[in-house]
Structure 1
Amino acid sequence: MQFTLEGLDKESQARAGSMKLDHGVVETPIFMPVGTVGTVKGVHQRELKDEINPDIILGNTYHLYLRPQTNIIEKAGGLHKFMNWDRNILTDSGGFQVYSLSANRKIKEEGVKFKSHIDGSFHTFTPENVMEIQRKIGADIIMAFDECTPYPCDYNYAKRSMHMTHRWLDRCIKHLDKTPLTYDYNQTFFPIVQGSTYKDLRQQSAEYIANAGAAGNAIGGLSVGEPAEEMYAMTEVVTAILPKEKPRYLMGVGTPINLLENVALGIDMFDCVMPTRNGRNGMLFTAHGTINIKNKKWEQDFSPIDEMGITWVDTEYSKAYVRHLFTVNEMLGRQICTIHNLGFYLWLMREARKQILAGTFTPWKNKMVQQMDKRL
């Protein structure tokens, strides 16, 4: 992977860059739509390309390992061919999903034994087999296996967990070095900073991850229930340490406001289920605030759902019609809101990039944050 910094904001840490990967160039800052099980929920790949147009999407190692199973993906020629997606893919390591199974998993130094949420069968993830699984899935960017701590988290537990994540990282790197590529393109490896909301632990972890010398770096264990101010504070601590010449990925974040505030702190990459999940529940994000399309106030509003939107659904359908679709429980309403929200998130990141390159990011960001922090 080649990462090039193309612009820096004078009033913040915001940066515009580009990552050159084997399935195309990724312009940053970027939001990666979440395609957990080989699909961005409710969106055809053609719509994803033509309307939302992301340079990269995200898949999930835990879910793909369980269904359709790694051997089926490998027989298909990798996840790109299996889902008919010829652009970049990032897979997370499954650490967050294992964290979310707190009642059905046991963490040891060797790895994590967990019970499948599908059929109750038992499985084990180790740093070694997670690297092998991600080789076979075939994503362009693959993540280290880590433990994601909950919030709130006891200091001593966070410290022990962080050190274990570092030991697991060393095992990931060692095993990856001797595990050949499964397909005829390269894979880029990102380690993950942990340390909960403790400044000294975040500093230690960021230094350890920076010294690993990977092509890019990620920040995990945030957006797990902590106040936004805590998230920003920890992000600022970490970005001050991680190499400036390498991309920085803040995992699982977040609202449109979260994205802009973290771009200002030097983050390049994001993913989150919020635009799709909230869209399926009738929440529309716009540049002027958030719309709950299920509210009665939209019952006779025949204006487009978003006149400023970049996707065809934004002007094709009225607010009254989309509200009607939710009222009658028609799946089309969920699809329309999902496409709109993903389009808005991608527009927001691309507009941020333009503003950084133009030298106007900070005043634009401040105005956008104020506008988007409204309920319409």
Structure 2
Amino acid sequence: MQFELLSTDPKSKARAGTITTAHGSIETPIFMPVGTAATVKGVHQRELKDDIQAQIILGNTYHLYLRPTTEILEKAGGLHRFNGWDRPILTDSGGYQVYSLGQIRKITEEGVVFNSHIDGSKHHFTPEGVMDIQRSIGADIIMAFDECTPYPCEYGYAKKSMEMTHRWLKRCIKRFDETPPKYGYDQTLFPIVQGSVYQDLRRASAEFIAEQGREGNAIGGLSVGEPAEMMYEHTQAVCDILPQDKPRYLMGVGTPANILEGIALGVDMFDCVMPTRNARNGMLFTTEGIINIRNKKWEDDFSPLDAGLPNSYASSFYTKAYLRHLHRCNELLGAQIASVHNLTFYLHLVKEARKHILAGDFYDWKEKQVKILMQRL
């Protein structure tokens, strides 16, 4: 993987660049639709390419390991061939999913023993095993195995967890570097900064991760319930330490406003389930603000979902009244249209951010956009 930094905004730390992988290039800043179980929920690959214009999507190690299993993925020739997506893929290591299992997992120095949420069967994730699983999945960018601490979290636990995550990272790097990719193309390993909401821990973790010299780096353990300003504070501290010539990935973030603020702090890559999960519940993110399409006020509104996205079929063809009708009837098409629209908007937003970074006026544009995007219509 290669990263070329093209431009930096003069009034912020926003960056525009290009990541090159075996499955194509990615223009940063970028939002990555979440395809947890080999699919972006309710969205065709054709729509991801043509309407949404996604450049990279996510898969999740935990879910793909359980279903369809790495054995099936290997028989298919990797996730790209299994799901028909021929552009880049990033896989989360499963650390966050294991964290969310709560009472049905046990964390030790060796790794994590957990019970499947599907059938209760027992499984064991180690740093080495997670590297092997992600090799089998065949993602272009794979994540180190880490522990995601909850919020709030006591300082002592956060420190112990961070130090164990660093030890796990060393094991991940060793295993990754001594094993070849399975499908004839290179893969890239991203370490993950942890440290909960403690500034000294975040700085120490960022310094440790930077010392590993990998091709890119991630920031984990944020957007887990802490206030947004606290998330921004720690993101800024970490970005000030992580290498300028490597892409930075803020995991699990977030709202449109979160993404613009993250870009201003120097983040290049984002992912979040919000655009699709909220779409299924009737929340639309638009160029004019946030819409709850279930509200009665949209019952006889025959305007497009978002006139600000004229090149989007989903956003310009369907009306607010029609989408409200579909949601009120619990028609599957309603969730699908809303998901395509929200993802199209997110990709449009980061594309516009990139344009303004390259033009040198990102900060002023961002300040106006954040106010618009946070208002409820």
Q: TM above 0.5, one fold?
A: yes
Q: Which residue of 2 aligns with 1:86?
A: 86
| TM-score (norm. length: structure 1) | 0.99
Q: Percent identity?
A: 69
Q: Which residue of 1 aligns with 2:244?
A: 244
Q: Which residue of 2 aligns with 1:267?
A: 267
Where in structure 2 are the equivalents of 1:361-372 lying within 5 Å? 361-372=362-373
Q: In the alignment, does 2:57 pair up with 1:57?
A: yes
In structure 2, give the amino acid aligned to 1:348.
Answer: L
| C-alpha displacement of 1:288 | 1.3
Q: Which residue of 1 aligns with 2:297?
A: 297
Q: Which residue of 1 aligns with 2:103?
A: 103
Structure 1: distance between partners of 2:271 and 2:328: 30
Q: Which residue of 2 aligns with 1:162?
A: 162
| C-alpha displacement of 1:55 | 1.1
Structure 2: distance between partners of 1:87 and 1:222: 27
In structure 2, give the amino acid aligned to 1:277.
Answer: R
Q: Which residue of 2 aligns with 1:17?
A: 17
Cα-to-partner distance string for 1:147-198 (whole Å, 9 max, x where unaligned): 0000000000000000000000000011111112111100011000000000
Structure 2: gaps of 5 or more residues: none
Q: In the alignment, does 2:193 pair up with 1:182?
A: no
Q: Which residue of 2 aligns with 1:122?
A: 122
Structure 2: distance between partners of 1:60 and 1:42: 17
Q: Which runs of 4+ in 1 moved over 2 A?
A: none
Q: Which residue of 2 aligns with 1:215?
A: 215
Contact 1:195 1:201 in 2 (8 A): yes
Q: In the alignment, does 2:319 pair up with 1:318?
A: yes
Larger displacement relative to structure 2 (244-253 or 46-55): 46-55
Structure 2: distance between partners of 1:352 and 1:315: 22
Q: In the alignment, does 2:320 pair up with 1:306?
A: no
Q: Which residue of 1 aligns with 2:143?
A: 143
In structure 2, give the amino acid aligned to 1:335.
Answer: Q
Structure 1: distance between partners of 2:327 and 2:218: 37
Q: Counterpart of 2:10 in 1: which secondary structure? A: coil
Structure 2: distance between partners of 1:98 and 1:173: 20
Contact 2:287 2:306 in 1 (8 A): no
Q: Which residue of 2 aligns with 1:342?
A: 343
In structure 2, give the amino acid aligned to 1:337.
Answer: A
| TM-score (norm. length: structure 2) | 0.99
In structure 2, give the amino acid aligned to 1:305.
Answer: L
In the comparison of the two structures, how many residue pairs are matched? 376
Contact 2:248 2:267 in 1 (8 A): yes
RMSD: 0.5
Structure 2: distance between partners of 1:178 and 1:236: 34
Structure 1: distance between partners of 2:178 and 2:316: 52
Structure 2: distance between partners of 1:346 and 1:21: 19
| C-alpha displacement of 1:35 | 0.3
Q: Which residue of 2 aligns with 1:354?
A: 355
Q: Counterpart of 1:224 in 2: which secondary structure? A: coil
Where in structure 2 are the equivalents of 1:21-60 lying within 5 Å? 21-60=21-60
Structure 1: distance between partners of 2:150 and 2:258: 19
Structure 2: distance between partners of 1:78 and 1:71: 10
Q: Which residue of 2 aligns with 1:375?
A: 376
Structure 1: distance between partners of 2:33 and 2:50: 14
Cα-to-partner distance string for 1:342-367 (whole Å, 9 max, x where unaligned): 00000000000000000010010000
Cα-to-partner distance string for 1:13-68 (whole Å, 9 max, x where unaligned): 00000001000000000000000000000001111111111111000000000000
Larger displacement relative to structure 2 (214-223 or 173-182): 173-182
In structure 2, give the amino acid aligned to 1:361.
Answer: F
Cα-to-partner distance string for 1:288-339 (whole Å, 9 max, x where unaligned): 1100000011001111111112420111111011000011110101000000
Structure 1: gaps of 5 or more residues: none
Q: Counterpart of 1:52 in 2: which secondary structure? A: coil
Structure 1: distance between partners of 2:218 and 2:177: 20
Structure 2: distance between partners of 1:325 and 1:180: 48
Contact 2:260 2:366 in 1 (8 A): yes
Q: Counterpart of 2:67 in 1: which secondary structure? A: helix
Structure 2: distance between partners of 1:142 and 1:324: 41
Structure 1: distance between partners of 2:27 and 2:143: 20
Structure 1: distance between partners of 2:314 and 2:271: 22
